[in-house]
Amino acid sequence: MSKISIERFSKEAEIYMCLTSLVGSGVIFLIWRDLILSISFLAGAVLGFLNFRIIKKEVAGIVYKLLRDELHYSKASLLYVIKFFVRFTIIALILYFLLVELKLNVILLLLGFSMIYLQLIMISVKNFLKNKVIIN
């Protein structure tokens, strides 16, 4: 059984996310010939990608502080929950703006947003089938 680092795993997910976002947006434009639909998917994918990067950075920072005993577990969990709700509120406001003001397609926006999670599942299955285990 071979090993893969968490950094390599997340980098692979980010690369696949960028590729599928661009390809998906292009395919949507080619099929429906509608720029708004294509932008809807791409905007959702960009939001999902940024959300993933922010979560990855926040969790890594909290774990680093926990391991160095700079932060107590209860404070770490409270800090993460507060950051989660702040990020959730910001994303909700951005989605509201994109849907109400720019009139983007809600289905394609949410599909694009969820692409990073589909990528994580696909990469996990691929690594499982290749007998790779994720290590820190």
Name every residue whose Cβ is closer than 8 Å to that of residue 29 and which is 6 or more positions away in sequence: 35, 37, 38
| Higher pLDDT among residues 36 and 128, named by residue | 36
Q: Minimal CA–CA distance to 43: which of 118, 94, 119?
A: 94
1-47 residue pLDDT tens: 677 788 888 888 889 999 999 999 999 999 999 999 999 999 999 99
91-115 residue pLDDT tens: 999 999 999 999 999 999 999 999 9
